Amino acid sequence: MSATGNKPSRSFAAAEIDYSNASGDDFEALSHDRVPVRSMTRGDLDGILAVDRGITGRDRTAYFKRKFAEAMEESGVRVSLVAEREGRVCGFIMARVEFGEFGSLEPEAVIDTIGVAASDGHKGVGSALLSQLMTNLQGLRVERVRTEVEWNHFGLLSFLDRMGFRPHRRLALRRGLG
């Protein structure tokens, strides 16, 4: 059920759900009919780097090569996605599924990085990426998704809040070695 109380439309008497219904535009009624979203492939790295460079103003090639290798080669389940407009990558979400961590036995997805090209901001790209990711994860029977955000990254925090993310009771700790 969506945040507005709309239920996804059903196309058949059986329990098949029509995820293209845009009435609720949440994770059950996907935005991907307006923004094409697909699985990330090896050929997407340059597009992802261009989007990130436009967002951060920095060259983070080493970071993305490492994350890309993890997504393409080390993960048994590929869940990372890209959004496209006019044949170019306009957004991406890099995520992974962990099958038990920190004492938990249930599978949990982790969003490592999400980015939308500045020229495509506020056009449903981020929502489409998250909607498709959530649908894919439901199919894998993953029940939780977590991510970390810098406390002062207000735009991303606001977006994640609108998408239903909430603070968790788990506390992340860090210690410097210097």
* pLDDT tens, residue by residue, 97-109: 887 665 666 788 9
* Model confidence pLDDT, tens digit, residues 62-86: 999 998 888 888 766 779 999 999 9
Position 76 scores a pLDDT of 62
Into how many domains does the chain fold?
1
Q: Is residue 178 one of the residues assigned to a domain?
A: no
Encoded amino acid at 20, one letter? S
Q: Is residue 49 one of the residues assigned to a domain?
A: yes
Task: Round to whole Å and give the CA distance between 128 and 172.
Answer: 29
Q: Is residue 15 one of the residues assigned to a domain?
A: no
Task: Round to whole Å and give the CA distance between 110 and 98.
Answer: 7
DSSP-assigned letters across all residues of 118-162: GGGTTTTHHHHHHHHHHHHHHHTT--EEEE---TT-HHHHHHHHH
What is the domain-level CATH number for residue 110? 3.40.630.30
What domain range includes position 46?
Answer: 37-162
C-alpha radius of gyration, the chain, whole number: 17
Is the pLDDT at 148 greater than 50? The verdict is: yes
Is the pLDDT at 95 greater than 70? The verdict is: yes
